[in-house]
A = this chain, B = another copy of it.
Amino acid sequence: MPSERDFLRRLQSVARRGCPDLQLGIGDDAALITPRPGRHLVVMSDALVEDVHFRRRYVPAAAIGHKALAVNLSDCAAMGATPRFCLLSLALPPSAQPLAEDIVQGLLALADRVQVSLVGGDTTASPQSMFVDVCLMGDIAPGCAVTRAGARPDDYLFVSGTLGAAAAALQALEQGAAPPDAASEARFLFPEPRLELGQHLAAHGLATAMLDISDGLSLDLARLCEASQVGAVLEAAALPIALAAVAISPDQTAAHRLALDGGEDYELLFTVSPQQAATVAALSGTAAVGGVSLTCIGRITAGHDITLHMDGEIRPLPARGHDHFVRPGGSGTGTAATWA
């Protein structure tokens, strides 16, 4: 097990350098950065806690590091911003200290791929649980950031990728079983933030509101509707339910529940004005949005009701998701709730 000093030296040697706007990185009291002129700064943080967001027995150390950054990159994507810098706070119990380097390598592998520099953070002991907190900074052109608050009645509701694969894998892993397929396991362990999609929509003014689906479509849609003061109707038949969610579910209702309430998708949910809906639909699967599929799953409505159109009926869609002020460990895991 490395001493803290040796570990920090290793970090200094592996963290990304040569970034022209990074004046001073790991190793002093703070990092020093020259912001890109004329850009707004976008900042967020999101923590993973052992036995709340992951269990050591089925999440390898590299996936912990990957995911700690990925959940923040997903928030960054949901603003339409370009990620730039991150800090990592790592609190590890003695039994997890040998994992420190693999956790950091998992984070850095993703950071390098998306051109994010690890510029600082801290390490500390922990009595029992691992705690991995990442603070991410990005930037964006003024006026381009997409908030949750801009959805208007009649806007189309789109979601990227498929829903329920990560939740299906998690459900299996929690039961001590193998995930339905390798793809679902990868979706749960190594979620891929939809950065190109978010940036493209923001830069071209194509989304009126956007957030990432971390706690389940039904809950995150409720958050978008609340911020925008609108309602929504979802088309059950249009939901892009992942194969793994279908495979693991005893019936269609269970598969729908995984897609609607499962969480851990890290897809983008966004609204598009009727004038732009065809343009956005045509982007599905293109390189401009990172090759991800885009599916129209419903419309925004006036009022505050959120409903599901299924089997010819319109029924209320309750927002089932994680309230993070609950006893951990009881019902699998939950993602951290981001304030900003």
**Shortest distance from the beta carbon of A129 to any chain B beta carbon, whole Å:** 5
Is chain A's binding surface mostly helix, strand, loop or mixed?
A: mixed
- CB-defined contacts of A212 to chain B, threshold 8 Å: 29
Q: How many residues of A contact B (CB 8 A)?
A: 89
Task: Assess whether A227 is in contact with B27, with CB atoms less than 8 Å apart.
Answer: yes
Task: Assess whether A340 is in contact with B25, with CB atoms less than 8 Å apart.
Answer: yes
Task: Assess whether A125 is in contact with B326, with CB atoms less than 8 Å apart.
Answer: yes
A131 beta carbon closer than 8 Å to chain B: yes
Q: Which residue of B lies closest to A7 (CB)?
A: B325
Complex CA distance for A121 and B46, rounded to whole angstroms: 6
Within 8 A of B (CB), among A117-159: 119-129, 131, 133, 135, 137-138, 140, 142, 145, 147-149
A186 beta carbon closer than 8 Å to chain B: no
Segment of A81-89, A170-178, A257-265, A292-300 engaged in the interface with chain B: A81-89
- CB-defined contacts of A3 to chain B, threshold 8 Å: 323, 325
- CB-defined contacts of A52 to chain B, threshold 8 Å: 91, 124-127
Complex CA distance for A33 and B140, rounded to whole angstroms: 10
**Shortest distance from the beta carbon of A277 to any chain B beta carbon, whole Å:** 22
Of the candidates A26, A39, A127, the one having the most CB atoms from chain B within 10 angstroms of its own CB is A127
Assuming the contacts A37-B37, A125-B49, asked whether A43 and B133 have C-beta atoms less than 8 A apart, the reply is no
Q: Which residue of B lies closest to A53 (CB)?
A: B124
Q: Which of B33, B43, B131, B227 contacts A85 (CB 8 A)?
A: B43
A1 beta carbon closer than 8 Å to chain B: yes
Task: Assess whether A29 is in contact with B137, with CB atoms less than 8 Å apart.
Answer: no
Task: Assess whether B124 is in contact with A26, with CB atoms less than 8 Å apart.
Answer: no
- CB-defined contacts of A327 to chain B, threshold 8 Å: 94, 125
Segment of A71-79, A160-168, A279-287 engaged in the interface with chain B: A71-79
Complex CA distance for A126 and B211, rounded to whole angstroms: 25
Q: Mark A8-34, 1 if CB is under 8 A from B, else 0.
A: 100100000000000111111111111
Q: Which of B46, B51, B121 contacts A339 (CB 8 A)?
A: B121
A249 beta carbon closer than 8 Å to chain B: no
Complex CA distance for A35 and B37, rounded to whole angstroms: 9
Task: Assess whether B8 is in contact with A30, with CB atoms less than 8 Å apart.
Answer: no
Task: Assess whether B41 is in contact with A89, with CB atoms less than 8 Å apart.
Answer: no
**Shortest distance from the beta carbon of A55 to any chain B beta carbon, whole Å:** 11
Assuming the contacts A34-B41, A127-B49, asked whether A121 and B340 have C-beta atoms less than 8 A apart, the reply is yes
Would you give 26 A-B contacts (Cβ < 8 Å), ordered by A?
Answer: A4-B325, A24-B147, A28-B79, A28-B149, A29-B78, A31-B43, A32-B40, A32-B145, A33-B40, A33-B43, A35-B35, A35-B41, A43-B119, A43-B120, A47-B124, A49-B124, A49-B126, A52-B126, A87-B135, A89-B89, A100-B325, A121-B340, A123-B337, A125-B324, A127-B129, A129-B129
Q: Which residues of A contact B (CB under 8 A)?
A: 1-5, 7-8, 11, 23-35, 37, 39-47, 49-53, 75-76, 78-79, 81, 85, 87, 89, 91-94, 97, 100, 119-129, 131, 133, 135, 137-138, 140, 142, 145, 147-149, 210-212, 227, 323-329, 334, 336-340
Q: What are the 9 A-B residue pairs with the smallest beta carbon separation, nearest first?
A: A120-B340, A135-B135, A30-B44, A125-B328, A29-B78, A29-B75, A33-B41, A122-B336, A35-B35
